[in-house]
Amino acid sequence: MTYDVVVIGAGPVGENAADYAIRGSERTAVMVERELVGGECSYYACIPSKALLRPIEVRASATHLGGLPAEIALDVPALLARRDYWVSDYSDAGQEKWALGAGIDVARGTGRLVGERRVLITSGHSSREVTARHAVVVATPAPRRSSKATVMTSSRGSRCPCSRRASPRARVLFP
């Protein structure tokens, strides 16, 4: 199958890249995702960390104000339930719905470049190939590399200090 743009990795960067690539146009895009559409931020990082931290922060403020019980007990199961609510119980159905509504296809599996603008998608024992007419966007965390390696990147290679693996966020591979 051929798309105008193939995006490997459906985290925030991949979602935005795919959306910007086709919005208001006739272009087509597919995001290849091996885990959850939405990536680290939605399920393991930004969202759950705030869901867990906010009640604790409020408790600390309340305790500090006075006029309240000295100890406001933490309800750990309720705290974890709050986190699970905010991560949609680790279901990416909502994000997939958004992608399809935006005209972006979602392909489940691990994407790997196998040629010029050609991506092999492997899931279990099955695999299929998709081709990009214009570009392949690699929006996955970069693998660890030796200091001698050279990374070609079209982005400014911004680094987020709070990311699990600070790395250039996206590399666009043009023909």
Ligand X SMILES: Cc1cc2nc3c(=O)[nH]c(=O)nc-3n(C[C@H](O)[C@H](O)[C@H](O)COP(=O)(O)OP(=O)(O)OC[C@H]3O[C@@H](n4cnc5c(N)ncnc54)[C@H](O)[C@@H]3O)c2cc1C
Candidates 6-14, 22-30, 62-70, 129-137; binding stretch for ligand X (CB under 6 A) = 6-14
**In the complex, minimum distance from the CB of residue 165 to ligand X, in angstroms, rounded to a whole number:** 8
| Interacting residue with ligand X among 3, 14, 29, 136 (CB under 6 A) | 14
- Within 35-74, the residues that bind ligand X by CB under 6 A are 35-36, 39-41, 45-46, 49
| Interacting residue with ligand X among 97, 133, 145, 164 (CB under 6 A) | 164
Nearest C-alpha neighbor of 98 from the set 152, 163, 19: 19
Candidates 52-60, 90-98, 143-151, 162-170; binding stretch for ligand X (CB under 6 A) = 162-170
**In the complex, minimum distance from the CB of residue 69 to ligand X, in angstroms, rounded to a whole number:** 30
Which residues, 6 or more positions from 75, have their beta carbon under 8 angstroms from its beta carbon?
Answer: none
